Amino acid sequence: MTTSDLRVRVQLLDHEEWAPWPSEAVRIETRYSDDTSDVVLRVPTLQAFAAMKTLAWADRHAARDLYDLARLAELGALTSEAAGLVRDTTGASVQKYDFASLPSGLDWHSQLAHQTGEVPAAQWCLGVVREAYGKALGW
């Protein structure tokens, strides 16, 4: 599609090839009392979501990814299975150095304050994630 100097390209991918993550069908509750129908969504399993967040942290080192990983660690989701999904998807293993230190310029509070009531310390989150993966992977 071309309009003056604007060019948009769309790439269609086979979902099966593009998203090899394990998923499950989950019934969700709707927010509307007048809708009584069952709504079922296909969502990543907890382990797959943990692997996705691990890859997001490795890619962009965003505060929200580390925060989410810490909360996933509290749920027991940072396991050898999650690390195996990272390896199966990318060919790279989850490494200790991925969680060795916080990136410089991480504006922790301003990135998270509007998303959660209590913002834990970034260093605490990093430690929780490192400990969970360390236990799972024998670091």
pLDDT in tens, 82-104: 999 999 999 999 999 999 989 87
In a domain, 75, yes or no: yes
Residue 30 pLDDT more than 90? Answer: no
* Structural domain span for residue 98: 46-137
CA atoms within 13 Å, Cβ hemisphere of 29? 2
Q: Do the domain assignments include residue 99?
A: yes
Above pLDDT 70, what percent of the chain? 86
Residue 7 located in a structural domain: no
pLDDT at position 41 over 70: yes
Would you state the pLDDT for residue 105? 76
Query: Who contacts 134 (Cβ-Cβ below 8 Å, separation ≥6)?
Result: 96
CB atoms within 10 A of CB 5: 5
Domain count within the chain = 1
Average pLDDT over the chain reads 87
At residue 2, the pLDDT reads: 44
Is 107 within the bounds of a domain? Answer: yes
Distances from the Cα of 93 to the Cαs of 1, 16, 99, 111, 133, in angstroms? Answer: 40, 23, 13, 28, 11
pLDDT surpassing 70 at residue 3? no
User: Is position 51 within any domain?
Assistant: yes
Q: Is the dihedral of CA 81, 132, 43, 8 positive or negative?
A: negative
* 30 within some domain: no
**How high is the pLDDT of residue 1?**
43
Residue 129 located in a structural domain: yes
Work out the average pLDDT over 7-18. Answer: 60
Higher pLDDT, 116 or 86: 86
2 is a domain residue: no
Which comes out higher in pLDDT, residue 26 or 33? 26
